[in-house]
Amino acid sequence: MKFLLTKELGRLVKWLRILGFDTEYFKQDNTSSLIIEALRSGRIIITRNHRLPRSGGIQITVIEAERIKEQVAEVLKALKIKPDSDMMFTRCILCNEKLKEIEKEKVKDKVPEYVFKTQEDFITCPKCKRIYWQGTHWGDVTKTLKEIKWNS
């Protein structure tokens, strides 16, 4: 399942990437380009815009919630998705690229010293080169996810 989100849903883009979903962010106002892009890439459009044309072959999910946690819950419910912990934290939240493992030695000068001392496993984005590690960047994410009721 791949998604294309419209520009008012920037925070939700990050969240869907955290959950491991291939999520592109469409920042233009041009509705026809949005539809063409969704068709071309086989993505489900997620938007807050009620007025998108319902043309053939396009799947559109309209989000009503304004708060981010409720938006995440709404997407999961509407698309009947169960988050998979093996999928989480596998994508760069900035670029949507799949993250790759990187040897600890190689991140020595790229992360804060205390992180290097306390963490063993690091992953990196092949595109933007950002380094991720368990705990710090994603510390609040796991907590927030627990607050969202998946099965409601």
Instruction: Provide, rounded to whole angstroms, the least separation between the CB of residue 141 and Zn ion.
Output: 17
Give the footprint of Zn ion on residues 97-136 (CB under 5 A): 125, 127-128
Give the residue with the Cβ less far from Zn ion, 42 or 126: 126
Kindly report the length of the chain: 152
Q: Is 67 in the site for Zn ion (CB under 5 A)?
A: no
Give the residue with the Cβ less far from Zn ion, 26 or 132: 132
Give the residue with the Cβ less far from Zn ion, 63 or 92: 92
Instruction: Provide, rounded to whole angstroms, the least separation between the CB of residue 69 and Zn ion.
Output: 24
Give the residue with the Cβ less far from Zn ion, 17 or 43: 17
Instruction: Provide, rounded to whole angstroms, the least separation between the CB of residue 125 and Zn ion.
Output: 3
Rounded CA gap, 35 and 38, in Å?
A: 5
Of residues 62, 88, 95, 131, which one binds Zn ion by CB under 5 A? Answer: 95
Tell me how far CA of residue 40 lies from CA of 2, 12, 43, 112, in angstroms: 12, 22, 8, 41
Rounded CA gap, 58 and 3, in Å?
A: 12
Rounded CA gap, 36 and 17, in Å?
A: 22
23, burial (CB in 10 Å: exposed 0-12, middle 13-18, buried 19+): buried
Residues found near Zn ion in the complex (CB under 5 A): 92, 94-95, 125, 127-128
